[in-house]
A = this chain, B = another copy of it.
Amino acid sequence: MSTDVEWLTAEQEQVWRRWLALNAMLPAALHRELQADAGLSLPDFDVLVHLTDNPAGRVRVSDLAHALQWEKSRVSHHVTRMQRRGLVCREGCPDDARGAFVVVTTAGRAAIEQAAPGHVRAVRDLIFDHLTDAELQALDTITRKVSARLAPTSDGGAAGR
């Protein structure tokens, strides 16, 4: 394409391309890990984390959507797929007949317990174990700044899990 536009500096462009590549490879690597350890996908893992974080292992669809920052329809589709594999099931809500709970099954619990150690190890091994404190600080600042541009609402330090 013609260069009518002010593009990035050479260094910016290099970083940008590496960032893009990273964000394609990183989820793929974590996916492979989970898949090998417990037959889970990354979204499966996220759902199971939120379900097992809840003492009852039961979470309303809306709450799940909010916690994961997913659209409700995405939650619904994904729960359907996970249900088909026996990882979760649905239950009606007595209080509000419109509502539904997603409930983790025994198999779901087993899967995440099997997957978690390797997943954590992978995250640490791929990223955090190799960063100095200064680099971690810088990454904190950078992600904060970009987040602020992307999500003008709800930035700051939106609650650890």
> A157: nearest residue on chain B (CB-CB)?
B14
Min Cβ gap A16→B in Å is 6
Q: Is A56 interfacial (CB 8 A cutoff)?
A: no
A8 in contact with B128 given A113-B2, A116-B1, A138-B135 (CB within 8 Å): yes
Residues of B within 8 A of A145 (CB): 130-131, 135
Residues of B within 8 A of A113 (CB): 1-2
Alpha-carbon separation in the docked complex, A25 to B53 (Å)? 24
Binding stretch for chain B, among A75-83, A87-95, A147-155: A147-155
A150 touches B120 (CB 8 A): no
Alpha-carbon separation in the docked complex, A78 to B157 (Å)? 38
Min Cβ gap A32→B in Å is 11
A143 CB contact (under 8 Å) in B19, B53, B69, B140: B19
Min Cβ gap A130→B in Å is 5
Alpha-carbon separation in the docked complex, A145 to B14 (Å)? 14
Which residues of chain A in 103-133 are interfacial with respect to chain B, using CB atoms and an 8 Å cutoff? 112-113, 116-117, 120-121, 123-128, 130-131
> A52: nearest residue on chain B (CB-CB)?
B1
A126 touches B138 (CB 8 A): no
Identify which of A15, A22, A124, A157 gathers the most chain B CB atoms within 10 Å of its CB: A15
Min Cβ gap A46→B in Å is 9
A25 CB contact (under 8 Å) in B49, B125, B151, B158: B151
Q: Is A144 interfacial (CB 8 A cutoff)?
A: yes
**Interface 0/1 of A15-57, CB less than 8 Å to B:** 1111101111111010000000000000000001100110000
